[in-house]
Amino acid sequence: MSDLRALYQEVILDHSKRPRNFRALADSNRHAEGYNPLCGDRITVYVKLDGDRIVDIGFQGSGCAISTASASLLTETLKGKSRAEADELFAKFHDLVTGQGNGGVSLGKLAVFSGVSEFPVRVKCATLAWHTLKSALEGEEKTVSTE
């Protein structure tokens, strides 16, 4: 598979064109905004936390295919997960896209982002939603910036 095809896998293109959970949650109790000034990507992640558990999650905004698909798959993956599980997935996902590990089977669908590691300038796109989620969970209301 060429590097390009590895980067823009069908699943990624599908999620970038039809992002899942692409909505503001009316009953969210955490949200944060993420911004990548380099490419103008801007997203807001909304979370409904029940105790330690993410019972609902959504996002809105505009971005490139990689950042939109990453946000979409993040929401799919994390619904119903605990904060600790989310942290662990982020760590593994980060290793995957920076080429520091294959993430193992535990990443599930998120493994489609392995191609990002061949495109170092796109790592920020792939991780924008994750950084934003982290900030939402930590209760910081300020905009996180990738720069």
Partner 1 sequence: MGITAQEVGRIRRADSGFDADRIRQDFPILTQTVHGKPLVYLDNAATTQKPRAVIEAEQQFYLRDNSNIHRGVHELSERATQAYESARRKAQKFLGAGHSREIIFVRGATEAINLVAQTFGRERTGPGDEILISAMEHHSNIVPWQILCEQNGARLRVAPINDRGELIWEEFRKLLGPRTRLVSVAHVSNALGTVNPVKEIVQAAHRLGVPVLVDGAQGAPHLRVDVEELNCDFYAFSGHKVYGPTGVGVLYGKAKLLEAMPPYQGGGDMISSVTFEKTTYNSPPYKFEAGTPNIAGVVALGAALDYVNDIGMEAIAAYEQELLVYATQRISQVPGLTIIGTAKEKTGVISFVMEGLHPHDVGTVLDQEGVAVRTGHHCAQPLMDRFKVPATTRASLALYNTRQDVDALLAGLNKVREVLG
* Positions in the binding site for partner 1 (CB under 8 A): 2-5, 7-8, 13, 17, 37-42, 62-66, 68, 119, 122, 125
Please state, in angstroms and rounded to a whole number, the distance separating the CA atoms of residues 41 and 53: 28
Q: Which is nearer to partner 1, 30 or 124 (CB)?
A: 124
Find the length of the chain: 147
Q: Which is nearer to partner 1, 78 or 125 (CB)?
A: 125
Contact assessment for residue 55 and residue 48, using Cβ atoms and an 8 Å cutoff: yes
Q: Which has the closest alpha carbon to 45: 115, 110, 127?
A: 127
β-pairing verdict for 144-145 and 53-62: unpaired
Tell me how far, at minimum, the Cβ of 87 lies from partner 1, in Å: 27
Q: Which is nearer to partner 1, 13 or 91 (CB)?
A: 13
Tell me how far, at minimum, the Cβ of 126 lies from partner 1, in Å: 12
Tell me how far, at minimum, the Cβ of 67 lies from partner 1, in Å: 8
Q: Which is nearer to partner 1, 55 or 64 (CB)?
A: 64
State the CB neighbour count (10 A cutoff) for residue 119.
16
